[in-house]
Structure 1
Amino acid sequence: MSTLKPLRLDIVSDVVCPWCYIGKHRIEDALKLVPDVPVEVHWRPFFLNNWVPREGISREEYLTAKFGSVDAYKGIAGRVVAAANEEGLSYRPELVKRQPNTIDCHRLIHWAEAEGKAAEMKQRLMELYFRDGGDLTDSNVLVQAAEDVGLDADDVRRRLATDEDVALVSAQAQEAADKGISGVPTFVFAQKYAVSGAQPAEQLARAIRGVSAEINAEAAE
C-alpha cells in the first residue's frame, strides 16, 4: 500500500479534439510507466468550438468556417491521422458528417465520474466520433454510449432532456479559459503546474514522478 500523498491530475480536453484523443492514450501510457505513484485523475471540460450551436452543424460547414474549405483540412488531417495510427488509434475524418457542440458529452462524462467511469465515458465518445464517425448531436447515440459503459440508459435519457449540469459544465470550461488554457489537451499537475499538448508518454511520466516527489516532500516538512 502506497504511503505517498496522491497527485491530483486535471486533464482539460474536448471529445472532438483529435490531439486530446491522442493525448488521452499517451497519459494512460504514462500512468503505466509510474505504477508506484498514486494519481487521482479528473477529466475537465473544454469547448474547442464554443461557437457551434447546441444542435450542431454539418461537418462541411464547420471545416469551411474553421479552415477555409474542406480541402484545406485534408493536409492537417493527414498528419493527425498518422499520429493517431502511431498510437494504435483510428481517426477516420471522412466518416464524420456532423460537428457537435460538446456540452452534452461533457455532461455525460461528469455523470459517469460519479460512478468512477469518466475515463471510459470519454473514451467511448471519442471512439464513436473519431473511429466510427458517430453523430454526437443525436441523443440516441449519447444514450447508447452511456449504456455501453454501464450507465443507466433511461436515467441518462431523462437527464439529457433537461438542463441539468449545463451551468456547472459551462462554468468549469470557463474556469479553464480564465486560467489561460487555450490549447488542449492541457495536463494540470497538483493544481500548480500545467503541460500543454499531447506530449510523449515518457515526458508526462517524468512530470508525474517529479511533481509527486515535490508534493510529498512538502507534506513531510
Structure 2
Amino acid sequence: MNEIPIDIVSDVMCPWCFVGKRRLEKAVQMVGTDVDVHVNWRPYQLDPTLPKEGKDRATYLAEKFGGADRARTLYRNIDEAGKKDGISFSFDAITLSPNTLDAHRLIRWSQNAGADVQDRVVERLFELYFIEGKNVGDHAVLIDVAKECGMDAAVVSSLLATDSDKEEVRREIAVAQSMGVTGVPCFIIGQRYAVMGAQDPQTLAEAIMRVADGSGAADEAAAPR
C-alpha cells in the first residue's frame, strides 16, 4: 500500500478551505484502499494584520470588500459550493473577523495528540466559525475545542496563555509563502505535487494517484515543516 502525506496549507477563516476539506475527503474515498493518505494541516493567515481581539465583522467587510452587500454577492458562489459539499455556511452569523494565529497554534499542538485529533480540531474550528459564528480567536472557544476533540484542555489553556509556538507558526507561514503559496487552500501531495485552490474531488484524486504511481513531477517546493 502506498502511503501519501498531504500537507494542506489553510486558514480557518477561509471558506474555500472548508470546501476544500470536504472535497479532499471525497477524493480520498475515490482513490480507495490502495493509497493510505495522511493529512497534515499547515498554517496560513489571510490577514495577519487583524488585532489579537479580532475586528468587528461589518467594519472588516467594509474595509475589505466595500461593505456587507458586496461581500454577500462575493460569498454567493461559496455558499452554493458549500451546499453541494454538505456545508451550510451562515455568513450572517459571523460578527467578528478573528486573528487566527492562536487557532493555528491549537492545530499545531493537536498533531501529536492522537490519531485523527488534528482533523477533528480543524473540522470543529470550521464549523464554529462558518456555521455557528463563533470567535475562533477566543481562548475559551479554543480550550473548549481542545477538550471536545480529546486534547488535554488544561495543557492547552496554559500554553495559550504564553507565546509558545507563535514564532514557529509564523515561520511555517513564511516558508509556505517562500514556496509560492499566495492563497489557500494549497494541497502539497507527497511533498512533490502542489494543487492550488479548492479543486474538485476528481482533480485531487488524480493528483494523489499520480504521486502514488510515481508519475507526478517533483515540484520545487517541499511541504513546510
Give the structure-1-normalised TM-score: 0.93
87, 95, 98: which one pairs with 1:97?
Answer: 95
AA in 1 matched with 2:138: D
Instruction: Give me the whole-angstrom Cα distance separating, in 2, the residues matched to 1:214 and 1:111.
Output: 32
Q: Which runs of at least 4 in structure 1 moved beyond 4 Å after TM superposition? A: none
The residue correspondences of 1:26-65 to structure 2 (distance < 5 A) are 26-34=23-31, 35-65=33-63
AA in 2 matched with 1:152: D
Aligned to 2:133: 133
5+ unaligned residues in a row in structure 2: which ranges? 219-225
Aligned to 2:221: none
Aligned to 1:205: 205
* Closer/same/farther in 2, CA of residues 160 and 215 from structure 1, 3 Å limit: farther
Instruction: Give me the whole-angstrom Cα distance separating, in 1, the residues matched to 2:37 and 2:75.
Output: 33
Instruction: Please give the per-residue CA displacement for 1:104-130, whole angstroms capped at 9, x wherever unaligned.
Output: 111111111101311111000000000
* Closer/same/farther in 2, CA of residues 91 and 84 from structure 1, 3 Å limit: same
Aligned residues: 214
Instruction: Give me the whole-angstrom Cα distance separating, in 2, the residues matched to 1:135 and 1:193.
Output: 34
Instruction: Give me the whole-angstrom Cα distance separating, in 1, the residues matched to 2:25 and 2:11.
Output: 16
Secondary structure at 2:34's aligned position in 1? coil
Give the CA RMSD over aligned residues: 1.5
Following TM superposition, by how much is the alpha carbon of 1:215 offset from its aligned partner in structure 2, in angstroms?
7.1
Instruction: Please give the per-residue CA displacement for 1:148-187, whole angstroms capped at 9, x wherever unaligned.
Output: 1111111111111111110111100111011110111011
8 Å CA contact retained: 2:193, 2:207: no
8 Å CA contact retained: 2:9, 2:184: yes
Aligned to 1:72: 70
Secondary structure at 2:191's aligned position in 1? coil
AA in 2 matched with 1:15: V
Following TM superposition, by how much is the alpha carbon of 1:61 offset from its aligned partner in structure 2, in angstroms?
1.4
AA in 2 matched with 1:79: N
Following TM superposition, by how much is the alpha carbon of 1:139 offset from its aligned partner in structure 2, in angstroms?
1.1
Secondary structure at 1:38's aligned position in 2? strand
Secondary structure at 1:125's aligned position in 2? helix
Matched-pair identity in %: 40
Instruction: Give me the whole-angstrom Cα distance separating, in 1, the residues matched to 2:137 and 2:193.
Output: 34
Instruction: Give me the whole-angstrom Cα distance separating, in 1, the residues matched to 2:34 and 2:12.
Output: 29
The answer on 1:123 being equivalent to 2:120 is no
Give the structure-2-normalised TM-score: 0.91
